[in-house]
Amino acid sequence: MNIAITAAKGRGEALDHILLYGPPGLGKTTLAYIIAVEMGANIKNTSGPAVERTGDLAAILTNLRSQDVLFIDEIHRLNRAIEEILYPAMEDFALNIIIGKGPGAKSLRINLPQFTLIGATTRFALLSPPLRDRFGAVYRLDFYDQTSIESILKRSARILQIKA
């Protein structure tokens, strides 16, 4: 991930969209904030259940600035109609809005600034395949094994100059 962040910053572009999944309590939200800080970007935070209407998502997207990070926790809980709005935003950085109904309805396309969507979920299997496929990077977070925990503790003790 460090290489991707360095490359995106070097190009002056937003980082590719990222999906973080795994059991609760492993730091998906913390990692999203760290990514935003490393990118030097602002982060906007919401959750799948909080985005109830397509207008909610449209308001969030149109308030993003260039290279902002949009973090959606529990992204698996977005309803399918809202996902449909998200697809062109992720692929083309555009928001397609339908005004009116029936044969007189008109389509309006709003260009969005380049942004990075970071989605987090504990329920990877509940994400629709079209949404999953739009993430350029997918990371599974898992619990540390005993050896990794020991290594982390030893390193931390050394840095803090504590006898292990």
Residue 164 is predicted with a pLDDT of 62
Q: Which residues of 52-66 are buried (b: 16+ CB within 10 A; e: fewer)?
A: eebeebbebbeebee
Asked if 125 contacts 27 with a C-beta cutoff of 8 angstroms, the reply is no
Asked if 72 contacts 78 with a C-beta cutoff of 8 angstroms, the reply is yes
Q: What six digits make up the tokens of 41? A: 């970007």
**Element at 128 (helix H, strand E):** none
Q: Please give the domain boundaries of the chain with CATH numbers for all domains.
A: 2-159 (3.40.50.300)
Q: Which residues of 126-141 are buried (b: 16+ CB within 10 A; e: fewer)?
A: ebeeebbebbeeeeee
Residue 107 is predicted with a pLDDT of 87
All residue ranges of the chain with pLDDT < 70 are: 164
Q: Whole-model pTM?
A: 0.88
Q: Express each pLDDT in 15-62 by its tens digit.
A: 999 999 999 999 999 999 999 999 999 999 999 999 999 899 999 999
Asked if 75 contacts 120 with a C-beta cutoff of 8 angstroms, the reply is yes
Residue 77 is predicted with a pLDDT of 96
